[in-house]
């Protein structure tokens, strides 16, 4: 029993489950850490509201287990004002989010984590993360990396071959990913995204050609964009396993940089 317990402790990848001497030992050999960040926002009528944060953490854990790096605590709140019409959504102001990202990264840098990878699970965070990377570069001279944890950008061919419908939020792909990762999903509640009657004819006519600031309830009644009813565990497994392997390759290359 004692041997099994020691082995379990040695394989722990979560920074916050280690003691400071264990972290100190890790830093003697490795200076990479994954910082998962997501949001707490509506994901249609079928996916739990922590989905972006949940996905970021779950992917980070799987990557860490394959590469031997550590995972920082997940940042559960993001930039989500466009979802605030739906109950349960929590959002932070853009400037506050940038400041939080900066302070987390600076804390990690102070301890010797010189290669920080922000594992982002929420597209709404992208601009805040970009601003964070720029400010950290200017203020510390250090490079911080960022990536999206969803597979579309990592294995587009496999994703396109596997996912039958397109959407963008709480859709077939995101639901399939959640089914594979073990998210709480009320699959029978999933609904295809339908535009409300208030959606203007002008916007329909010029969709994809113009950009406006809009909230999700102005675009979809259910909160979904796309059709989650096509989702399956098998689809999620296929695209996520391939995507995680590509992220693993990046982390292994990053570890080699002195």
Per-residue pLDDT of 39-57, as tens digits, reads 999 999 999 999 999 999 9
Percentages helix, strand, coil for the chain (3-state, rounded to 5) are: 50, 10, 35
Task: Band the pLDDT of 164: cuts 50, 70, 90.
Answer: very high
| Strand bridging mode 115-120 / 32-37 | parallel
Selected residue with higher pLDDT from 124 and 5: 124
pLDDT at 97 over 60: yes
| Number of structural domains the chain divides into | 1
Please report whether residue 2 resides in a domain: no
Selected residue with higher pLDDT from 120 and 258: 120
Q: Which of 47, 73, 51 is nearest to 60 (CA)?
A: 73
Q: What is the CATH number of the domain that holds 209?
A: 3.40.50.10310
Angle at 141 between CA 135 and CA 145, to 5 degrees: 65
Angle at 67 between CA 13 and CA 22, to 5 degrees: 35
92: containing domain: 8-256
Please report whether residue 1 resides in a domain: no
pLDDT on residue 202: 78
CA separation for the pair 227, 166 (Å, rounded): 7
Please report whether residue 48 resides in a domain: yes
- Mean pLDDT over each residue of the chain, to the nearest integer: 93
CA separation for the pair 52, 40 (Å, rounded): 7
Classified as helix, coil or strand, 236 is: helix
- Give first-to-last CA distance, the chain, whole Å: 39
Residues 6+ apart with CB under 8 A from 35: 71, 72, 75, 104, 105, 108, 116, 117, 118, 119
Please report whether residue 96 resides in a domain: yes
| Secondary structure element (H or E) that encloses residue 157, with its range | helix 156-162
Task: Band the pLDDT of 6: cuts 50, 70, 90.
Answer: very low
| Strand bridging mode 115-120 / 145-148 | parallel
Inter-residue contact 79 to 101 (CB < 8 Å):
no
* Whole-structure pTM value: 0.91
Residue 210 in tokens: 């113009």
Please report whether residue 184 resides in a domain: yes
pLDDT on residue 5: 45
pLDDT at 163 over 80: yes
Please report whether residue 164 resides in a domain: yes
């Amino acid at each position: 029993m004692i041997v099994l317990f020691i082995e379990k402790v040695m394989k722990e990848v979560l920074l916050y489950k280690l003691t400071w001497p264990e972290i100190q030992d890790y830093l003697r050999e490795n200076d990479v850490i994954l910082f998962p960040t997501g949001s707490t926002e509506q994901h249609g009528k079928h996916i739990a509201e922590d989905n972006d944060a949940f996905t970021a953490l779950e992917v980070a854990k799987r990557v860490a287990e394959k590469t031997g790096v550590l995972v920082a605590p997940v940042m559960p709140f993001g930039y989500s004002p466009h979802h605030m019409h739906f109950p349960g959504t929590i959002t932070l102001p853009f400037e506050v989010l940038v400041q939080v990202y900066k302070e987390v990264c600076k804390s990690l840098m102070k301890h010797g984590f010189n290669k920080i990878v922000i594992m982002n699970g929420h597209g709404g965070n992208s601009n805040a993360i970009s601003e964070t990377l720029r400010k950290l570069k200017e203020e510390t001279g250090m490079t911080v990396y960022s990536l999206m944890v969803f597979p579309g950008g990592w294995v587009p061919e496999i994703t396109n071959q596997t996912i039958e419908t397109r959407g963008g939020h709480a859709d077939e792909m995101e639901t399939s990913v959640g089914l594979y990762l073990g998210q709480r999903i009320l699959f029978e509640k999933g609904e295809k995204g339908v535009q409300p009657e208030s959606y203007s004819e002008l916007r329909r006519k010029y969709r994809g050609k113009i950009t406006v600031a809009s909230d999700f309830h102005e675009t979809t009644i259910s909160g979904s964009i796309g059709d989650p009813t096509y989702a399956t565990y098998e689809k999620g497994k296929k695209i996520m396993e391939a995507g995680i392997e590509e992220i693993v390759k990046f982390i292994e290359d990053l570890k080699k940089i002195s």
